[in-house]
Structure 1
Amino acid sequence: MEKLKTGSDKERQYLTFGIRDEYFGISIDTVKEILEYSNVTAIPLMPDFVKGVLNLRGEVVPVIDLSLRLGKGVTEVKERTCIVVLEIPFEQDLVTLGALVDSVTEVIDIDISTIEPAPTFGARIKAQFIQGVVNVDGQFVILLRGEKALSVEELASLVEKVSEV
């Protein structure tokens, strides 16, 4: 995918990444950093999509398998597998969360007028996770809502359980 030109305040930046053979994007505003996959410690009695936790400079960060969360099966860790560290708004705070993805592609500028609404039927992932869909150089990119990657109840539960570790 070729990087689009920046030019107006009607554009937003998205980090694009691959999961299986599809491309997704998430607002760069929620992305804290991108890490190579390593040192994730499994935690028992967590939901299936929770890969475990990692120590990020002294902070315990839950890591979710985004592919599994989106109903696409378990991510097979390979050379380009990454953890996208996100800061998700929750109540009055920002909660740090890692999302396991197959590979990170690039940061692109998207004209918000080109974003199509989330499909109401036929989508293979839950519509609540989708901000919209955009065509970038002939490739559809599904734009995810970072704050909806987990429901409020699941996020609160994860933060509580990880804090006890």
Structure 2
Amino acid sequence: MSVHRSLSAVSASDQAQDKARAVVQWYVTQNIKPGTALPSPKQLALTLSLPAAHVRQALRHRDTAGEIALDSNGPATRLHQGEAHPCDRALQLAVQERISTGHYQPGQALPTGLLSTEFRLQPHQVQRALGHLAACGDIRRDEHGPYGPGHYVPSPGIPRAQRRTRVSPDPE
């Protein structure tokens, strides 16, 4: 009987967290313009009548998705659609440079584990950064690649000038 209750409690907790994620996402997309700071998690919790812990977790989820940028030194910011997450820029620029200099060869799978270690990023952050490069056309995501699912350096069949916009460094 207690196992059934604990499963129900987990299910209710998951449902509450899913609701918080949906409400926070709705609030951010409907009320916060890209490039604008978000209210503090405490203020969002009060505004949305949600537990502060659920709001913080929902904000981390939006950060992981690349929709906002959390900043431990200040307020979170809503990112523009297609904008690279600030934490991802160094990795993205390094991958672009390594492709252009031939360090990474066409058809090569990118070493995501090594990149994670080198740039001190979590695996989900590396995936987010590489996903942005794939959307820009600098690399390709291949679920059935020769080395398994992953991100690969594209073949030189498409001239670089015809690819989408590259990631630009932070403005100083």
TM-score (norm 2): 0.24
- Per residue, is there more strand in 1 or in 2? 1
TM-score (norm 1): 0.25
- Per residue, is there more helix in 1 or in 2? 2
Higher gyration radius (CA): 2
